[in-house]
Amino acid sequence: MAAPPVPLVAAGAPTAGLPDLQLLLVAAALVVLAGIFAMADAALGAVSPAQAGELARDGVRGARTLQIVAADAVRHINLLLLLRLLCELTATVLVALVAVDTFGAGVTAALITAGAMTVVSFVVVGVAPRTIGRQHAYAVGRITAPLVRWLGRVLNPLASLLILIGNAVTPGRGFREGPFATQIELRELVDLAEQRGVVEHGERQMIHSVFALGDTIVREVMVPRTEMVWIEAHKRLPQALTLFLRSGFSRIPVIGESVDDVLGVLYLKDVIRQTQGGDPDANDRAVAEVMRTATFVPESKPVDDLLSEMQAARTHMVIVVDEYGGTGGLVTIEDILEEIVGEITDEYDVERPPVERLDDGEVRVTARLPVETLGELFDVELPADEVETVGGLLAQALGRVPIPGAEAEVNGLRLLAEGTTGRRNHIDSVLVRRVSAADQRDRERDQRERDHDHDPVRASDREAGPEFRAEQPTREEHSRSEERQPADA
């Protein structure tokens, strides 16, 4: 008869090997070591190699080793992650052995092990060490850098092998070279830094603007051709100097037969050098003799590429060419910088709010105000499908490019274009008011006069002379005579 099975471990029975107390001490030491690895991991992730190099040049102890480790931070961080996991798993196994030795192999031992190690790992390994490592990154990094460097030399083959295996079984890119997989992660980190007060709101916007620069094309930042200030090539230098003073610009495109025929760029300093240099013939010199070569770029070019090209060429203005080969506008260094740091104003820029209410009930709006905003101001429906700005709405109503003084009526609103001193035919703002009853009567009277001028009977009267017009019956007499005639059978 077979003997009954003997249980593997009985509750309270001593296990072979180390006593339970020693197992717990080893597990505690492994947890502390895992916390040190986590703290070094967090510190190394927050250390800048450039800043570590500055500390090394200043003679700070341990900074040189920290710089070496930070230069290869990806490999060392993954090694620390491997060692931390190894310590935590080993400590969990030791605690499980003690729990089984105490409570027996069953659910109770498993729950006690899981609960205890979850709390210990979260507090001792997860929260406290990583917080200390981030808050005191350079101090912790200088202390732990020698150990991390030594471990990197000893365990580098093992870490490389595990990374190779991970890349083989992981779809996609596998192990990524760096702390950020995408630009989106870096942007989210900047947003988190603003929420925690690490960066200011303006700094966050500037960082996001730098990222957006690569997604922006030249057409979105250029000064459109309708707002360009230009000068003809045959004009004389005194005329050019007057235009410079009126416009406030230091560089102006030079055109030939039309604005689509840009020949070059005229610089204010070149004009002053010519006119004030003592040359008696300078005032008779044409602009074409002094202008410089213009740089042309397509309107679809990314703005970050354009900025790099302008820096390399040391030019401050380029002419934008549209898809048909005509002049689309121009771009300056200031236009690109404003995409990063915001609007830049100088003593020549007019500070004007987008909406200004006047005393007589009129509203002055900028020509670039969105059509939707204008419709909300006056609570009217405006056609916003084909045009986006008030200036475009006025041009659509007129059927041509508006000039200062141009006026049109759109859905019960009267629009009057206003210009800017020094800007040739440039629309800077638009006066908007509701069409009143008096305006309605005036318009109807004008319409009747136009109809009267186009009346063929009146036109024949004017051509026939006064004697013939006296013999013609009036419209009322003609109607009465028709009423007296009998109807046809």
For residue 7, what pLDDT band results from cuts at 50, 70 and 90?
very low
Residue 225 lies in a domain: yes
pLDDT at 295 over 90: yes
Alpha-helical regions (H) of 47-197: 49-57, 63-71, 73-103, 107-120, 128-135, 137-169, 183-195
Residue 403 lies in a domain: yes
State how far Cα 63 lies from the chain centre. Answer: 38
Q: Are residues 111 and 45 in the same domain?
A: yes
- What's the pLDDT tens digit per position in 388-435? 788 888 888 887 767 778 888 888 899 998 875 444 456 778 999 988
Q: Nearest Cα to 303, choosing from 283, 324, 333?
A: 333
* Among 316, 341, 366, residue at a domain's last position: 341
Q: Quick check: 306 and 318 in contact, CB under 8 A? A: yes
Q: Nearest Cα to 147, choosing from 65, 250, 263?
A: 65
Return the CATH number at 402. Answer: 3.30.465.10
Exposure string of 255-293, with b = 16+ CB inside 10 Å and e = fewer, is: beeeeeebbbbbbbebbeebbeeeeeebeebbbeebbee
CA distance 238 to 251: 15
Partners of 231 in the beta sheet?
254
Residue 178 lies in a domain: no
- What's the pLDDT tens digit per position in 200-249? 888 888 888 888 888 889 998 888 887 788 899 999 999 999 988 887 78
Residue 180 lies in a domain: no
In total, how many domains does the chain have? 4
pLDDT at 13 over 80: no
Domain, as residue range, for 414 = 355-441
Mean pLDDT in residue range 111-116: 82
Residue 9 lies in a domain: no
- What's the pLDDT tens digit per position in 180-195? 556 677 777 788 888 8
Sort strands 407-410 and 231-232 into parallel, antiparallel or unpaired.
Answer: unpaired
CA atoms within 13 Å, Cβ hemisphere of 208: 17
- What's the pLDDT tens digit per position in 74-92? 778 888 888 888 888 898 8
Mean pLDDT in residue range 253-261: 91
Q: Nearest Cα to 412, choosing from 364, 377, 365, 370?
A: 377
Q: Quick check: 222 and 216 in contact, CB under 8 A? A: no
* Among 152, 169, 186, residue at a domain's last position: 169
